[in-house]
């Protein structure tokens, strides 16, 4: 039993939610959401093309996704605190080192070996694994609340980062962010992270007595990756999520440059990223609530339909909204943000519904790895596409045709009416 919180009277799960939110503010906000703001200043500093800079998100995702199965295995063994500490230290150190990098090669190595590793150890995977252990009755809503950290990071950090870049320069901005993370997140992880309620004599949802369910009654620690990936559901869920992640990563990375192409300022582009994150925040609450009441498969289908509508409005902004470009961009961004907000709670609840809690982190991490090739291309594709066409619009138009495939895959997912042992589903 963990001595840090032994015999505590209040339910520690709410502190776990708070920690998960802040961890994802840092992991996602300080990597994915603010990256687009550095494309232009970094390319000017090193006198290189945007295509080369566009490899940054790919490097981040490649590293974190490749390590995901290893991280997942440690998480299923109860090493949540160790993984999150490692992640917070690596992200803080990585941002500080990026501020003094003198070449693109150095930046690539730091992004991969420091920031990428940190995102994998600190981000949605360990946070979701921890929240699943602490909540059962309202798991969907808890996962949605936990995932709001990613949206809050995108809502708060882009305008702050844009201001710091303007006032201090991009190098000093990165240094300031790294120091802030070191002073706040590392102590929070040390004192608050606890793998499961049983470690401190509590029970999921704050119940006074343990509730045995079919899903957690069958130990599944001996189930390997081979058994997991032999499931048809694994591929239908994993491929659907991979396509959504890939298109979402492209949208977040190139929203600011695309907005500038349409004639708006960098500051307004940063506002659009905040709008996307803010609406995604609302979507996480809405879809997280729905996950506890309807099939998470239906939630995922609605996420895809909404994202598809927003993407359509984005590529047709000039023809649909005529001269009101800013209005059109805001509306398209709001629709996409609201829809994408349902991705993490829908995905995580779906995995928790189909698979045992004992292998939740391994299943989720394997899907992260599956996403790697789909997230590998958007960064350089957008950069080199711009270098070739001198416009991002053709790439956004081509991306629209991915959405029908997402819908087809999602319709083939089979969700059991009740939670079942992993051996029956893996």
Q: For position 1, what pLDDT does the model report? A: 53
How much of the chain exceeds pLDDT 70, in percent?
90
Q: Cα–Cα distance between 308 and 298 in angstroms, integer?
A: 15
Greater confidence (143 vs 326) lies with: 143
| Tokens, residue 223 | 């189930």
**pLDDT at residue 420, as a whole number:** 42
How many other CB atoms are there within 10 angstroms of residue 236's CB atom? 18
Q: pLDDT band at 32, cuts 50/70/90? A: confident
Does the pLDDT of residue 117 top 60, yes or no? yes
Check pLDDT > 50 for residue 239.
yes
pLDDT of residue 212: 53
Asked if the model's pLDDT at residue 256 lies above 70, the reply is yes
Among the listed residues 418, 362, 351, the one whose alpha carbon sits nearest the alpha carbon of residue 221: 362
pLDDT for residue 403 = 96
Which residues make Cβ contacts (< 8 Å) with residue 60, sequence separation at least 6? 31, 32, 35, 111, 112, 115, 116, 119
Instruction: Give the pLDDT score at 423.
Output: 36
For residue 242, pLDDT beyond 80: yes
Asked if the model's pLDDT at residue 2 lies above 70, the reply is: no
Tell me: pLDDT of 425 over 60. Answer: no
Contact status, residue 297 vs residue 358, Cβ threshold 8 Å: no
Mean residue pLDDT across the chain = 85
264-270: long-range contacts, CB 8 A cutoff, minimum separation 24: 264/325, 264/326, 264/329, 266/37, 266/40, 266/162, 267/159, 267/162, 268/326, 269/36, 270/37, 270/158, 270/159, 270/161, 270/162
Return the pLDDT at 109.
93
Looking at residues 83-109, what average pLDDT do you find?
A: 94
Write down the domain spans for the chain: 13-425
Residue 244 has pLDDT above 50, yes or no: yes
Selection from 74, 13, 19 nearest residue 200 by Cα = 13
Rounded mean pLDDT of 221-247?
A: 86
- C-beta neighbour count of 3 within 10 angstroms: 8
Candidate from 126-130, 206-210, 289-293 with smallest mean pLDDT: 206-210
User: Whole-prediction pTM value?
Assistant: 0.76
Q: What does the pLDDT look like over 47-70, one tens digit per residue?
A: 888 778 878 877 887 888 889 889
Report the pLDDT value the prediction gives residue 338, as an integer from 0 to 100: 93
The proportion of the chain whose per-residue pLDDT surpasses 90, expressed as a percent, equals 41
pLDDT score, position 8: 55
Q: What is the pLDDT of residue 306?
A: 95
Using CA atoms, how far apart are residues 344 and 214, in angstroms rounded to an integer? Answer: 24
Find the helix or strand (DSSP H, E) in which 391 lies.
none
Provide the pLDDT for residue 204.
86
Say whether domain 13-425 belongs to CATH 3.30.70.580: no
pLDDT at residue 50 in the model: 77
- Give per-residue pLDDT as tens, 337-346: 999 889 989 9
pLDDT band at 422 (very low <50, low <70, confident <90, very high): very low
């Amino acid at each position: 039993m963990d001595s840090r919180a032994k015999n505590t009277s209040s339910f520690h799960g709410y502190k776990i939610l708070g920690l998960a939110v802040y961890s994802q503010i840092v992991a996602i906000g300080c990597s994915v959401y603010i990256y687009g703001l550095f494309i232009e200043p970094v390319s000017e500093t090193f006198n290189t093309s945007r295509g080369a800079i566009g490899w940054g998100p790919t490097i981040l995702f490649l590293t974190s996704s490749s390590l995901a199965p290893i991280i997942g295995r440690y998480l299923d063994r109860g090493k949540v605190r160790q993984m999150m500490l490692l992640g917070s230290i690596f992200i803080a150190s990585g941002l500080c080192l990026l501020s003094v990098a003198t070449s693109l090669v150095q930046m690539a190595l730091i992004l991969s070996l420091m920031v990428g590793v940190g995102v994998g150890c600190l981000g949605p995977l360990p946070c979701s694994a921890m929240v699943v252990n602490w909540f059962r009755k309202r798991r969907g809503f808890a996962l949605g609340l936990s995932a709001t950290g990613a949206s809050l990071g995108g809502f708060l950090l882009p305008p702050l980062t844009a201001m710091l870049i303007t006032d201090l320069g991009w190098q000093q901005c990165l240094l300031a962010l790294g120091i802030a993370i070191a002073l706040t997140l590392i102590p929070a992880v040390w004192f608050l992270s606890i793998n499961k309620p049983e470690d401190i004599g509590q029970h999921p949802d704050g119940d006074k007595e343990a509730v045995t369910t079919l899903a957690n009654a069958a130990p599944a620690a001996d189930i390997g990756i081979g058994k997991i990936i032999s499931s048809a559901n694994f591929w239908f869920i994993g491929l659907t999520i991979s396509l959504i992640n890939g298109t979402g990563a492209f949208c977040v990375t190139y929203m600011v440059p695309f907005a500038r192409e349409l004639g708006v300022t960098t500051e307004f582009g940063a506002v659009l990223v905040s709008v996307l994150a803010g609406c995604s925040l609302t979507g996480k609450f809405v879809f997280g609530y729905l996950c506890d009441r309807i099939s998470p498969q239906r939630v995922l289908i609605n996420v895809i339909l909404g994202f598809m509508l927003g993407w359509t409005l984005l590529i047709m902004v000039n023809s649909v909204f005529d001269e009101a470009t800013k209005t059109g961009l805001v509306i398209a961004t709001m629709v996409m943000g609201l829809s994408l907000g349902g991705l993490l709670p829908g995905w995580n609840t779906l995995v928790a519904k189909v698979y045992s809690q004992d292998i939740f982190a391994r299943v989720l991490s394997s899907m992260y790895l599956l996403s790697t090739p789909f997230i590998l291309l958007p960064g350089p594709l957008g950069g080199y596409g711009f270098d070739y066409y001198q416009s991002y619009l053709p790439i956004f138009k081509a991306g629209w045709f991915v959405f029908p495939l997402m819908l087809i895959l999602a319709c083939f997912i089979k969700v059991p009416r009740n939670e079942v042992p992993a051996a029956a589903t893996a």
